[in-house]
């Protein structure tokens, strides 16, 4: 198995000379065999003098990481002691992390299984960055690949989910994907490798275990080398997915319009394509939308439901710490853009008036002017001239929110900002990106670049003017 292991690593370029490897070591047979293979292959690649030196030092190119999720009582602590003793016997550094997995699952509204997954991967990434590991080795094997294939198929994930796990995904490597569980257990027994059993692996209340213990054995009965055939099919799907992805990406790049932080595609590209619904899904899925949402979007496009809105749960973007992607279906196109959750705000004090640099390369300049006989009212909407005596500092610059209203200059009554924006024909993106200036009393003074509030306009009695100039 060592020979096949080395060939697989070489074939997929998983480990390079001098790489620092962090191995996720649970104590189960899979990770223990991977640990043994990594130790054996490392020693085979070292000279005799290097081996002597390594015996007096730690194995600097290999370290272990063990997660104690505290989900199985004393068994969790037993596993921790087992891997710790193994690391000490082999003079290999080990990192141990304790998690309150159930509390995390409750906090994040996740299943315990998904919570554990999220916790360990976040920690592995943290360890890699802190200790400069080149690769993180995971002990997934061919049977895990098959199990994941069926799980994703049952979830209706499409070709992306069916393509299976890659031998290498970023800095994660899976050097055991060439093997199956029977081969791993046989190697462990032949080389006197000890491991600990997780009793939950035998419980069929979990979907993965049902597939492992009930479904896959049926394929073994139906066809000789069934597992090998299934993994071959998964490899083919992986290759086909790469080709499919490239074609889709080329097509989307051809029809997508990108400007000022939002993306749009004209609806005709979906309506005039027999695979338009699938094309739409492939576009919006990268922003966190699911197929059901894509279907609803397509229906809105077909029925010309202008203004239909769809939200994803993705947190993306660099300008804002948290954002939610929004798809807005217009009459002629569909837009995707960032809808801010944690808004950026600016506070403007009278004694500290300064130039503000806003997003989209906009600049806002402030000045205070005395009104005299030479004063001229500027009618450009990029300039706001306000009666200084009618506003209360400090001022706040923010983005609009639901329920905002003001009295537009020249109107007799107040108007909801949402209605005001609709009157201007604003797209959903334009609404979200427009700045609002309000005073300390919550009075909206200026919809930046659009209209001031009639209540703070310049009158004959005005003595001091607060002026704001917007530069695009």
CATH number of 346-471: 3.50.40.10
**Lowest-pLDDT range, 87-91, 136-140, 196-200, 313-317?**
313-317
pLDDT of residue 426: 82
Cα end-to-end span (Å), the chain: 65
The residues near 214 (Cβ < 8 Å, ≥ 6 apart) are 204
**φ/ψ bin of 366: left (φ > 0), alpha (ψ from -120 to 50), beta (otherwise):** beta
The residues near 111 (Cβ < 8 Å, ≥ 6 apart) are 105
User: 406: pLDDT confidence band, cut at 50, 70 and 90?
Assistant: very high
DSSP 285-302: GGGT--HHHHHHHHHHHH
Which position has the token pair 């900002």? 417
User: Domain extents for the chain?
Assistant: 2-142+164-206, 274-340, 346-471
Residue 341 to residues 260, 287, 315, Cα–Cα distance (Å): 19, 16, 10
- pLDDT above 70 (res 363): yes
pLDDT of residue 204: 67
Mean per-residue pLDDT, 77-84: 95
Instruction: Compare 153 and 365 and report the one with higher pLDDT.
Output: 365
- pLDDT above 80 (res 119): yes
Q: Decide: helix, strand or coil at residue 195.
A: coil
The CATH architecture of the domain made up of 2-142+164-206 is 3-Layer(aba) Sandwich (3.40)
- pLDDT above 90 (res 197): no
- pLDDT above 90 (res 362): no
Q: Phi first, then psi: what are they for 356, rounded to 5°?
A: -110, 135
pLDDT of residue 397: 93
Which residues, in sequence order, are bridge partners of residue 213?
none
Residue 172 CA to residue 177 CA, distance in Å, equals: 13
Three-point CA angle 339, 419, 383, nearest 5°: 80
User: 51: pLDDT confidence band, cut at 50, 70 and 90?
Assistant: very low
Which residues, in sequence order, are bridge partners of residue 187?
none
pLDDT of residue 187: 95
Mean per-residue pLDDT, 197-211: 76
Half-sphere exposure of 269 (CA within 13 A, CB side): 17
pLDDT of residue 241: 82
Q: What is the pTM of this model?
A: 0.57
For 104, the enclosing helix (H) or strand (E) is helix 101-108
pLDDT of residue 429: 65
User: 431: pLDDT confidence band, cut at 50, 70 and 90?
Assistant: confident
Mean per-residue pLDDT, 310-322: 47
Are residues 342 and 390 in contact, defined by beta-carbon separation less than 8 angstroms? no
- pLDDT above 50 (res 311): yes
The token duo for 323 is 């954002």
Which position has the token pair 């604003």? 426
**Lowest-pLDDT range, 12-21, 315-324, 361-370?**
315-324
Half-sphere exposure of 310 (CA within 13 A, CB side): 27
Query: Other C-beta atoms within 10 Å of 27: how many?
Result: 23
- pLDDT above 70 (res 340): no
- pLDDT above 50 (res 72): yes
For the stretch 231-234, contacts whose Cβ atoms lie closer than 8 Å and that sit 24 or more positions apart, written own/partner, are 231/142, 231/145, 231/146, 231/164, 234/145, 234/146, 234/149, 234/162, 234/163, 234/164
The residues near 108 (Cβ < 8 Å, ≥ 6 apart) are 115, 118
DSSP state of 332: S
In the chain, % of residues over pLDDT 90: 52
pLDDT of residue 146: 87
Residue 205 CA to residue 13 CA, distance in Å, equals: 38
In the chain, % of residues over pLDDT 70: 88
The token duo for 358 is 């806003």
Residue 33 CA to residue 62 CA, distance in Å, equals: 14
Q: Phi first, then psi: what are they for 363, rounded to 5°?
A: -125, 135
Are residues 198 and 206 in contact, defined by beta-carbon separation less than 8 angstroms? no
pLDDT of residue 157: 67
pLDDT of residue 325: 60
Max CA separation in the chain (angstroms)? 100
Residue 315 CA to residue 21 CA, distance in Å, equals: 30
Mean per-residue pLDDT, 258-262: 70
Mean pLDDT over the full length of the chain: 85
Mean per-residue pLDDT, 201-212: 76
Mean per-residue pLDDT, 27-39: 95
pLDDT of residue 331: 77
User: 314: pLDDT confidence band, cut at 50, 70 and 90?
Assistant: low
Instruction: Compare 315 and 469 and report the one with higher pLDDT.
Output: 469
- pLDDT above 90 (res 461): yes
Instruction: Compare 213 and 320 and report the one with higher pLDDT.
Output: 213
User: 446: pLDDT confidence band, cut at 50, 70 and 90?
Assistant: very high
pLDDT of residue 410: 93
Q: Phi first, then psi: what are they for 260, rounded to 5°?
A: 50, 40
The token duo for 124 is 């592995």
DSSP state of 307: T
pLDDT of residue 339: 53
- pLDDT above 70 (res 52): no
DSSP state of 176: B
Exposed (0-12), middle (13-18) or buried (19+): which is 39, by Cβ within 10 Å?
middle
For 446, the enclosing helix (H) or strand (E) is strand 444-447
- pLDDT above 80 (res 104): yes
**Lowest-pLDDT range, 23-27, 202-206, 269-273?**
202-206
């Amino acid at each position: 198995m060592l020979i096949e292991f080395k060939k697989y690593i070489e074939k997929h370029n998983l480990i390079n000379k001098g790489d620092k490897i962090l191995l996720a070591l649970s104590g189960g047979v899979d990770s223990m065999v991977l640990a043994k293979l990594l130790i054996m292959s490392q020693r085979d690649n070292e000279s005799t003098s290097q081996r002597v030196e390594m015996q007096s030092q730690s194995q600097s190119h290999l370290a272990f990481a063990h997660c104690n999720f505290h989900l199985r009582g004393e068994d969790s602590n037993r596993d921790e002691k087992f891997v710790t003793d193994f690391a000490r016997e082999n003079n290999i550094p080990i990192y141990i992390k304790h998690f309150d997995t159930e509390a995390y699952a409750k906090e994040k509204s996740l299943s315990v299984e998904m919570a554990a997954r999220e916790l360990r991967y976040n920690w592995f990434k943290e360890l890699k960055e802190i200790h400069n590991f080149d690769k993180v080795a995971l002990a997934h094997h061919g049977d895990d690949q098959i199990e994941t294939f069926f799980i994703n198929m049952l979830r209706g994930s499409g070709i992306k989910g069916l393509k299976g796990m890659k031998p290498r995904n970023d800095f994660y490597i899976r050097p055991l994907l060439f093997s199956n569980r029977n081969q791993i257990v046989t190697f462990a027994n032949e080389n006197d490798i000890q491991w600990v059993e997780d009793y939950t692996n035998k419980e069929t209340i979990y979907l993965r275990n049902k597939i492992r213990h009930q479904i896959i054995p049926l394929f073994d009965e139906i066809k000789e080398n069934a597992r090998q055939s299934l993994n071959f099919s998964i490899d083919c799907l992986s290759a086909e997915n790469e080709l499919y992805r490239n074609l889709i990406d080329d097509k989307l790049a051809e029809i997508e319009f990108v400007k000022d932080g939002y993306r749009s595609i004209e609806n005709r590209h979906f309506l005039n394509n027999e695979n338009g619904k699938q094309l739409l899904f492939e576009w919006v899925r990268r922003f966190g939308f699911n197929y059901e949402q894509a279907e609803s979007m397509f229906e809105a496009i077909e029925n010309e439901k202008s203004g239909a809105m769809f939200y994803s749960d993705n947190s993306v973007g660099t300008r804002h710490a948290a954002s939610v992607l929004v798809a807005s279906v217009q009459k002629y196109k569909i837009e995707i853009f960032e809808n801010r959750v944690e808004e950026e705000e600016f506070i403007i004090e009278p004694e500290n008036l300064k130039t503000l640099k806003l997003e989209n390369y906009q600049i806002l300049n402030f000045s205070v002017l005395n009104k005299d006989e030479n004063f001229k009212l500027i009618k450009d909407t990029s300039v706001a001239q306000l009666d200084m005596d009618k506003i209360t500092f400090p001022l706040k610059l923010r983005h609009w929110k639901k329920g905002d209203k003001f009295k537009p200059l020249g109107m007799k009554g107040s108007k909801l900002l949402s209605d005001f924006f609709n009157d201007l024909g604003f797209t959903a993106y334009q609404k979200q990106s427009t700045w609002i200036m309000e005073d300390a009393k919550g009075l909206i003074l200026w919809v930046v670049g659009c209209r001031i509030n009639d209540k703070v306009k310049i009158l004959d009695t005005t003595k001091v003017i607060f002026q704001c100039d917007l530069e695009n």
